[in-house]
Amino acid sequence: MRPPDRSGPPRPRATAGDTLFALGVAALGLAFVGAVLAAGGGAAWLGALGIVAPGTPSPAALGSPAPSPDTGALSSTMPADTPAPDASPAADGSAPPATPTPTLPAPFTMDLYRDGVFVHEADKESCVAAAVQNTLNVIGLVEAGRAPDVSPDTQTALYDRILELTTWDDSHNGGTGPGGWAAALTEMGYPYEVRAYASRLAAMRAAATALRTTGRPVGILAWAGVHSWVMTGFKATADPAAAQMFTVTEAYVLDPWYPWVSSRWPRSEAPDVPRDAKDLVANVLPWKLASGPYPDRDGKFVLVVPLEP
């Protein structure tokens, strides 16, 4: 015999009103849950009540406990795809590599001077010819081991040829000029050219860079353009071959005027005596000749620069 389906007094049959009330309560509950989820943090609140929102994996399904409120606040400050700094030792137990320390530029010195190359100018008009003769002596001895030629006859021959190669644009007074200086060396197989710079700093950097690159002396128009120096070396705050920003602190110079003493200009020094910053300021002056104007040179610092062989 089958047991009765229910016990106790008969349950009254649900009316249509009861059904509508129940549906209304359910609808309000769903609306409340949706509002909580939309406001954020609802999943954790519902989880505390034992309610899991549809489509939300449980902590057990994720394999780890749900984060505490504090942990969640900390983790929200770092994007999920940003790796945390790792200061832990490597797998083999060694310390992590240290950050390399930047290397500061080292001072640099270069000098092509050799004993016996210097020649004095024969007269006050021959400083450019003497500068060319000094340059040829340095190049010949350093590059080919050729004995220096200090003959006055050689200097006279050089003067005559430089004078022929000097144009009016190069020298308005009919003498020798830096253009003739460069042309004579180029004619002999050592290409040079005249360059002018807006500042002494730029000119000395260019001189050092050219000397470093070619291994050949650089001509400097000293004393506002009326005299010729041959720069054979320098000291700088960095190697011009490795740095663009550096300062020439000293220049090694052959001054053809030596051992004469000028009544107007600073004292001429013996061959290869380093000229410091004070000397360079006093002697390397902007071009300004009474025979001017020279539009490409006036107010600038003029060099006779070797080109790469």
Q: What is the DSSP letter of 181?
A: H
Q: What is the DSSP letter of 247?
A: -
Mean pLDDT of 132-151: 98
List the one residue out of 215, 217, 213, 221 whose CA is nearest residue 136. 217
Mean pLDDT of 169-190: 97
- Please say whether the beta carbons of 283 and 275 come within 8 A: yes
Q: What are phi and psi of 200, to 5 degrees?
A: -65, -40
Alpha-carbon distance of 268 to 252, in angstroms, equals 12
The confidence band for 105, taking pLDDT boundaries of 50, 70 and 90, is confident
Q: What is the DSSP letter of 279?
A: H
Mean pLDDT of 54-67: 42
Q: Within a 10 A sphere around the Cβ of 55, how many other Cβ atoms?
A: 5
Chain centroid offset of residue 290 CA = 40
Q: Dump pLDDT digits (tens) for 231-276.
A: 999 999 999 999 989 999 999 999 999 999 999 999 999 999 999 9
Instruction: Tell me the two tokens of residue 29.
Output: 């509950």
Alpha-carbon distance of 239 to 245, in angstroms, equals 10
H-helix or E-strand containing 172? Answer: none
Instruction: Tell me the two tokens of residue 28.
Output: 């309000």
**pTM of the full predicted structure?**
0.68
> How far apart are the two ends of the chain, measured CA to CA in Å?
122
List the one residue out of 291, 285, 189, 205 whose CA is nearest residue 251. 205
The confidence band for 91, taking pLDDT boundaries of 50, 70 and 90, is low
Structural domain boundaries in the chain: 108-306
List the one residue out of 202, 173, 203, 196 whose CA is nearest residue 289. 173
Please tell me whether residue 276 adopts helix, strand or coil conformation.
Answer: strand
- Please say whether the beta carbons of 170 and 196 come within 8 A: no
Whole-Å CA distances, 250 to 14, 238, 266: 110, 12, 16
H-helix or E-strand containing 220? Answer: strand 218-222
Whats the size of the chain, residue-wise?
Answer: 309
Q: Which of 36-50, 67-81, 136-150 has the lowest mean pLDDT?
A: 67-81
- Assign domain 108-306 to its CATH architecture: Alpha-Beta Complex (3.90)
- Helices 178-187 and 127-144, axial angle in degrees (round to 10): 30
- Please say whether the beta carbons of 276 and 284 come within 8 A: no
